[in-house]
Structure 1
Amino acid sequence: MSDSVRPSAEAMTAPAKGVSPNYRRAFALLASLFFMWGFITVINNTLLPHLRSVFELNYTQTTLIESVWFIAYFVASIPSAFLIKRIGYKKAIIVGLMVMAFGSLCMVPAARLPSYYITLIALFIIACGIALLQVAANPYVAVLGPPEKSESRLTLVQAFNSMGTFFAPYFGGYLILSRTVGGTVKEGTMISAEQRLADAQATQLPYILVALVLLAIAVVIWRSSLPALGEEAKAANAEERKKLSLWNHRNLVLGIPAIFIYLIAEIGVANLFINFATLPNIAHITSAQASTYLGFLWGGMMVGRFAGGFLMQKFNPARVLACFAIFAFIMMLGAATLTGPVAMWCLVLVGLGHSIMFPAIFALAIKGLGPLTEEGSGLLVMAIAGGALVVVQGWLADTFGLQNSFWLTAVCELYVLFYALWGSKPTNAVRDERLA
């Protein structure tokens, strides 16, 4: 992982203490990035049932779309680190936004043809841009102030990510699902080839609007200033870094699979929620109606992250994570075993349980890494590729039924609980003098 991924703690702690106004401006800009990549990611949740109808896909083919999205994280993370080293943090963010805008515009020809494979390529490009932003932004926020508050700080900025995920289903539901035949009829209704072709065109306007917003944010960041990256501090720690090993830190070694496994749970729930809610034995509603309840799921994540940011200032972050994992596991049991609207509401409430998992795991995993924080952060971002395994849940849904596929999610919650109770405890912690 490139040394330039993480700004120096010296550069970061001064703004956190109020010495420079750059801290507030940097945090606001980062919040806008977290909002946008959350927004774009969750548009996929309304896009997937739409594409399933347009291309007549089974669950495996549908979840493969999301798998391609998360494979991009694995492919793009290390190249992103090298790009940040070569052109700098600010320019890398602008490049990431431009890549996302280009991928969004590629959705226009994908819809006009329409083409399943061009859709996959467009989404892969968008995800590569998001991966570039993720590699820099998560560790940046983690060291943007006192280390003992890193979990709370990262959870708070992730709340803005959840704010984006909250609004996205309404945006996608209104501009995609509610404007299509496939989105306004119930599961099992026959749709003609002409209707499917007309439905495919509905994705053009939303992605054009998204591209314009991304370009506007890129211009704002280009005209703004961000804290320096602290090249001298990184160079001074180069020799110390060589003497240490990432694999001596249990919290990181077990945190990488925790991120990987958590993403399987989060993406599986979100991507299959609309299909689940439309089942006759669950809520038996249309896809457009289900997108509203999907908004409640992401709203729960937003509320949970704001609340979690406060709770982790008052209580041990690992214990808070354990409580949220237990709640998510109980809700998943309900979603996997109950019927009727109550099963759907259990799945909605899983969003609250999932809310703090990513930021809490990320911050706990880099605790005590000291000069190795850059490398550890890069590995954690690569672990986001766990979302690609949602295709496994798609296969389970095709083979054993959609509701039974959520037992996989329940098992994922148990691993997060294990990590919170034992795996997150640091071993061989290294003091980073720059954070003193």
Structure 2
Amino acid sequence: MNHTTEQVEIVNGGPRAGKKYLVPFILVVSLFFLWGMAHNLDSILIPHLKKACNLNNRQSTLIDTSVFMAYFLMAIPAGMILKKWGYKASMVIGLLVFALGAFLFVPAANQLSYTTFLIALFIIGCGLTILETSANPYAAVLGDPNKATSRLNLAASFNGLAAMVAPFIGSMFILSGKSHTQDELLAMTDVARNSYFMEEAASVKMPYIILGVVLVAIAIIFYFVNLPEIKTKSTDGIAKGSFFGALRHRHLRWAVVAQFFYVGAQVCVTSFFIRMAQQGAGFDEKTAAYYLAIYGLLFTVGRFAGTAMLQFISSHKLLAIYSAISVLLSAVAIFGNGAYVVYALGAIGFFMSIMFPTIFALGIEGIGDDTKPGSSWLIMSIVGGAILPYAMGTLIDLNSDNIQMGYSIPLVCYLIILYFGLRGYKIAHR
């Protein structure tokens, strides 16, 4: 049987030129941090824009829908950009598109236009898709092939760092700590009510202007820095595998389903974390943001701890154990009272940390030439982050703004992931 293998050819420098790759790797790692900031600031924007634009829960989740739908729609175009122009140009394009979306927050706030905010977030999502499509494989091949996994884990850890930093930034510069009930808003004069909304909306401008400037500056650095050019080639020159044909693998199909519900669950947990801490535990807005930062810390710690544990326990068993624990913690969040509700959500961050890469690895295991199209399916399945938070917001609105009831959605998601860890991961031998 003939197998197609890929050879990585580094044009500007050989694979032993470790120091030569240090600066490019640091630049690439900065991208992981930046898109982590974008995603984790969304958890601040959802409760904040809910106030500023006077939204219901379902409407507020359109923030997630805008970003993650962009991932779904841009996945294939991003791959085409990468194939046509290469890694460096793709990363520069991704940064500039990301920056454009950030700058659009200014007219959105000035006009108090939720639609413009959503357009800005969709554009940010498009930029993030291009960045992730190019930066992930670039970090993997930038150096010794035997250390590719270590490089990716190191780079990905900066997503966790962003999960800690973003809530602090949001708490200091975006969240005002002010909130009014609908009755209080109705009791205000039109001038006072509009002034309150405009003041809340205006607080997002400076953070996103600074973010946009930083993105443009990094794009300029990428443009002028001499990054190693990386090309891949097949030994027989023939592309193998097919997009729809990859789904003939039963365990890949289940992995796509599990990944859909995992991403949906993660976004649901963080999107309503602040409002859950306010309603379920009685915390004020800024204290809730502080606990969201602790959630990010636990997520990061969980990633390192899980990586260590995988040396002693099979990945599907650890995934099943973590999923079962997440089900129990979700139940505590739904039926508990006081600070225990927030503690349960923070702990979920720890146990969710290994789910995405574990599901991904189990899904593409043993599928040979279908690995690339299979990976594309798994990336596209993150559209769960666009759909399930909207379902959660709808459930909350239908239950008289009961945030705790909404966490039934993540609970069901973890049950599906649990099934994948117990049975769905198994390769069907023919």
Structure 2-normalised TM-score?
Answer: 0.87
**Structure 2 residue 110 is the aligned partner of structure 1 residue 112:** yes
For 2:199, the aligned partner's letter is A
Partner of 1:407: 408
**Structure 2 residue 344 is the aligned partner of structure 1 residue 346:** yes
Partner of 1:433: none
Q: 2:323 aligns with which of 325, 329, 332?
A: 325
Partner of 2:253: 253
- Cα distance in 1 for partners of 2:304, 2:183 equals 41
For 1:190, the aligned partner's letter is E
Partner of 1:75: 73
- Displacement of 1:203: 0.6
User: CA 1:310–1:148 in 2, change beyond 3 Å: closer, same or farther?
Assistant: farther
Per mean C-alpha deviation after superposition, the further-off stretch among 141-150 and 103-112 is 141-150
User: CA 1:365–1:229 in 2, change beyond 3 Å: closer, same or farther?
Assistant: farther
**Structure 2 residue 385 is the aligned partner of structure 1 residue 391:** no
- Cα distance in 2 for partners of 1:365, 1:44 equals 28
User: CA 1:277–1:16 in 2, change beyond 3 Å: closer, same or farther?
Assistant: farther
- Cα distance in 2 for partners of 1:152, 1:342 equals 36
Per mean C-alpha deviation after superposition, the further-off stretch among 413-422 and 242-251 is 242-251
- Cα distance in 2 for partners of 1:188, 1:341 equals 26
Contact 2:333 2:407 survives alignment (8 Å): yes
Q: How does 1:140-219 map to 2 (within 5 A)?
A: 154-177=152-175, 180=176, 183-185=177-179, 190-191=184-185, 192-219=193-220
User: CA 1:186–1:197 in 2, change beyond 3 Å: closer, same or farther?
Assistant: closer
User: CA 1:332–1:140 in 2, change beyond 3 Å: closer, same or farther?
Assistant: farther
Task: Give secondary structure in 2 for the equivalent of 1:57.
Answer: coil
- Cα distance in 2 for partners of 1:399, 1:133 equals 37
For 1:413, the aligned partner's letter is Y
Contact 1:66 1:388 survives alignment (8 Å): yes
- Identical columns (%): 35
Partner of 2:264: 264
Task: Give secondary structure in 1 for the equivalent of 2:204.
Answer: helix
For 2:290, the aligned partner's letter is T
Q: How does 1:37-116 map to 2 (within 5 A)?
A: 37-116=35-114
Structure 1 unaligned blocks of 5 or more: 1-6, 430-436
Task: Give secondary structure in 2 for the equivalent of 1:315.
Answer: coil
- Cα distance in 2 for partners of 1:193, 1:381 equals 41
Partner of 2:190: none
For 1:307, the aligned partner's letter is A
- Displacement of 1:221: 2.6
User: CA 1:73–1:65 in 2, change beyond 3 Å: closer, same or farther?
Assistant: same
- Cα distance in 1 for partners of 2:244, 2:353 equals 33
Task: Give secondary structure in 1 for the equivalent of 2:404.
Answer: coil
RMSD (Å) for aligned C-alpha atoms: 2.9
Partner of 1:238: 238
- Cα distance in 2 for partners of 1:17, 1:316 equals 32
Q: Give per-residue Cα distances to partners, 1:122-168, cap 9 Å, x unaligned.
A: 00000111111222344555677999987776554322111111110
Partner of 1:3: none
- Displacement of 1:82: 0.9
User: CA 1:333–1:196 in 2, change beyond 3 Å: closer, same or farther?
Assistant: same
- Displacement of 1:371: 3.4
Contact 1:152 1:313 survives alignment (8 Å): no
For 2:350, the aligned partner's letter is L
- Displacement of 1:332: 0.7
Task: Give secondary structure in 2 for the equivalent of 1:44.
Answer: helix
For 2:307, the aligned partner's letter is G
- Displacement of 1:263: 1.1
- Cα distance in 1 for partners of 2:408, 2:43 equals 20
User: CA 1:354–1:105 in 2, change beyond 3 Å: closer, same or farther?
Assistant: same
- Displacement of 1:186: 7.1
- Displacement of 1:291: 0.7
Contact 2:75 2:380 survives alignment (8 Å): yes
Q: 2:127 aligns with which of 115, 126, 129?
A: 129
